[in-house]
Amino acid sequence: MADLIHRKGDLYAGEGLHGGGFQPSLRPPEAAGTGAVPAGIRKSAPRRRSAALRKIWDSRFCTMVGIDVLVFVSSCILATLLRFEFELPPRGVTQIVELLSCLVVTKVVTFHLFGMYKGMWRFSSLSEFWMLAQACILSVLCTIVVLLLLGGLHKIPRSIFVIDAVLTFVLAGSVRMLIRSYFAVKSGSRIIHSSCTVPGRRAAERVLIIGAGASGEKLLRTIIENPNIVYHVVGFLDDDSGKHGRALLGIPVFGPVKDLGRVVRKYGVESVFISIPSASGTQMRNIVETCKECCISYKTLPAIGEIMEGKISVKKLRDVNYEDLLRRKPVRLDNEWIREYLEDRVVLVTGAGGSIGSELCRQLVRFNPEKLVLVDAGEENLYGIQMELRHEVNFQKFCCILASVQDRKLLEAVFAKYRPAVVFHAAAYKHVPLLERNPWEAVYNNVMGSRVVMGLAAGYGVGRFVLVSTDKAVRPTNVMGASKRLSEIIMQSIGRNGTRFMAVRFGNVVGSSGSVIPLFRKQIEHGGPVTVTHPEVTRYFMTIPEAAQLILQAGAMGSGGEVFVLEMGTPIRIDDMARDFIRLSGKEPGRDIEIVYSGLRPGEKLYEELITCDEDVTGTVHEKIMVLRANGNGSKAPADPAAKEARLDRELDDLCRIARTHDPAAIKRKFRQMVPEYTPQETDCVLEEPGCHKLLMEQETMEPGKIRHV
């Protein structure tokens, strides 16, 4: 008996609190009778036994076993009564007692080994009911074997075991179902209200699910069982005719997707959930178009398998992590000494509502400026960053100025009142094709606006001025790049009066308003196709936080006249980026989403560069940042700085006068004169007849200088 007790204790000790199934004893046979324990497990065995004892005496565990014991006793008694048609023989009570003494113990041990007391009954699932059925059958078989060995099987009718197994399954399953239903109702779940609104809940949004398959069933079950999801599913649509007229969890399948309009009107549907993860791009486009025709909002949901495999869709669970698209590690800049020139100072940001400007504002707040002066010509953008700073960041030391950077009188009043110590000039038009067709706006905003802000910064003694530039300023082939290059020339030529002027030049910013990424996202959400201009076009890319950090870092490092460039690695093919983006969205390029090549747009070129022929590259204290120092602006300007600035002023006045005539050919000729490396392309403008761009070609073609690469 002592040996049996030891072995029983080992059985429980070998099975941890959350372990699964039966585990053999770790005690060697030769040590079982003596109580000796090998040295290697002398310390761990008591802990295992104490864990087993805690499990045995746990109140929840005891309650579960106690309920099942009552079920076992009841099923055994009821099975015997049913067998004898409720007329027990003379020794009937004695037989029941003898049977219970073996049956209850066998069932408790079997149920325990099957893990029936590890789960929480309030979350009982279909798989647990299958385990319950197996445990009932096996426990009865074990009881028969034990009684056979003890010689008492001949006294008990065989049919009692069959009836007992069925009753045990029914009663034990009913107890678990009642407990689950109780907790479901208590938590507010609609598990028993799947086709109606639960009393006491606020009005739910009426939704229709497209796709009555496994994914649609899981979605409906999630909505029903989660009290925090306030949706009322009115029905399903599915193109499988075999499902029409049937129901899923009590919710009807109305018909095919083409009936969407009729169902929406009849049942007052407010939103549509598209739950067909296996749908092809063509199928998805057809469904989306049908939703648009019915003027109904829609959302698409990924399959559970796709989530588990990491194929997370663009807008379903999170936005795409743009760092995944860079094909390099994001640059983390050193911010320790940025605080020295920003803390307790007035900082002015132009273009504060744009992609770069707003991120600048978010990062500036961390350095506790005395005041932020936010200037933007866009009402909606300015209001957006205002609300974000006030309510999300909880930063109140700012003022918003709705103004154009071309308005010298207004900006002069702003400089006079707030006296900024640091200016970040991010206001600019950046869309290449639009500026190519409206070149005068590039002059007004990008050139003259920058001239106004720089002049006021120098006049009011601003300590540091950072110009946000672009890699399109390098050997530009479009008006936007020429205007930004001219802004750099102004920055390097202006009389400083103690102001440190510097520029930051970087490539495309993924996720910004002018980036291809938002366009890719919308195209993928609509089922494609994704448009790429050319299979070989390449660009340098950086994230919005990287761009903002580079701008702040430049302000700390610059001494005046520099152009800072981030080491951005190898340029990325847009075609490769589009394919990566499609895969990040859980689709396969060419199969689920098509890629279409639309051709280069006006003013675009196949590749971008970061350095012009007349710039020297030197390193900085930061290993990922380089500084470019100009040897000259490329024009035949006088060597004297004052004369050079005076000549540039005259040329800028001429450019402004030409821009007011809205003569695109003349504007491009003037740009070419002031920025010799500018090579205009054959593009039409909105106010000229097609073909007028050929007037530019009458000018003498100037040989571009040799380009040096980083």
Q: What is the pLDDT of residues 147-195, one digit of tens each?
A: 888 776 777 777 788 888 888 888 888 887 787 777 666 655 555 444 4
Helix (H) or strand (E) holding 617: strand 615-619
Q: What is the pLDDT of residue 373?
A: 96
Q: What is the pLDDT of residue 339?
A: 86
How far, in Å, CA of 229 to CA of 205, rounded?
10
Task: Kindly name the residue from 107, 243, 472, 668 that is annotated as catalytic.
Answer: 472
pLDDT-derived band at 410, boundaries 50, 70, 90: very high
Q: What is the pLDDT of residue 7?
A: 36
Inform me whether the pLDDT recorded for 8 exceeds 70. Answer: no
Residues 509 and 566: beta-carbon distance below 8 Å: no
CA 207 centroid distance within chain: 24
What's the average model confidence in pLDDT over 566-581? 76
Inform me whether the pLDDT recorded for 509 exceeds 70. Answer: no
DSSP codes joined into one string, 328-389: SPPP----TTTHHHHTTSEEEEETTTSHHHHHHHHHHGGG--SEEEEEES-HHHHHHHHHII
Minimum mean pLDDT among 482-496, 561-575, 629-643: which range? 629-643
Amino acid at 655: L
Nearest to 525 by CA among 305, 273, 313, 312: 313
What's the average model confidence in pLDDT over 584-602? 78
The proportion of the chain whose per-residue pLDDT surpasses 70, expressed as a percent, equals: 70
What's the average model confidence in pLDDT over 592-598? 86
pLDDT-derived band at 27, boundaries 50, 70, 90: very low
Residues 592 and 584: beta-carbon distance below 8 Å: no
What's the average model confidence in pLDDT over 193-212? 65
Question: How many alpha carbons lie under 13 Å from residue 141 in its C-beta half-sphere?
Answer: 7
276: its two tokens: 């067909």
CA-angle at 558, arms to 553 and 564, nearest 5°: 65
* pLDDT tens per residue, range 252-278: 999 999 899 899 999 999 888 888 877
Q: How, if at all, do strands 595-597 and 530-532 pair? A: parallel
Most confident of 225-234, 393-402, 532-541: 393-402
Q: What is the pLDDT of residue 461?
A: 92
pLDDT-derived band at 352, boundaries 50, 70, 90: very high
Minimum mean pLDDT among 106-115, 539-548, 608-617: which range? 608-617
Inform me whether the pLDDT recorded for 12 exceeds 50. Answer: no
Q: What is the pLDDT of residue 375?
A: 96
Nearest to 537 by CA among 569, 573, 577: 573
Nearest to 492 by CA among 467, 470, 474: 467
Q: Which spans in 588-663 are helix H?
A: 641-660
How far, in Å, CA of 315 to CA of 361, rounded?
26
Q: What is the pLDDT of residue 317?
A: 35
Inform me whether the pLDDT recorded for 655 exceeds 90. Answer: yes
Inform me whether the pLDDT recorded for 92 exceeds 50. Answer: yes
Say how many residues make up the chain: 710
Q: What is the pLDDT of residue 455?
A: 93
The verdict on whether 472 is a catalytic residue reads: yes
Residues 343 and 421: beta-carbon distance below 8 Å: no
* pLDDT tens per residue, range 114-151: 777 666 655 556 667 778 788 888 888 888 888 888 77
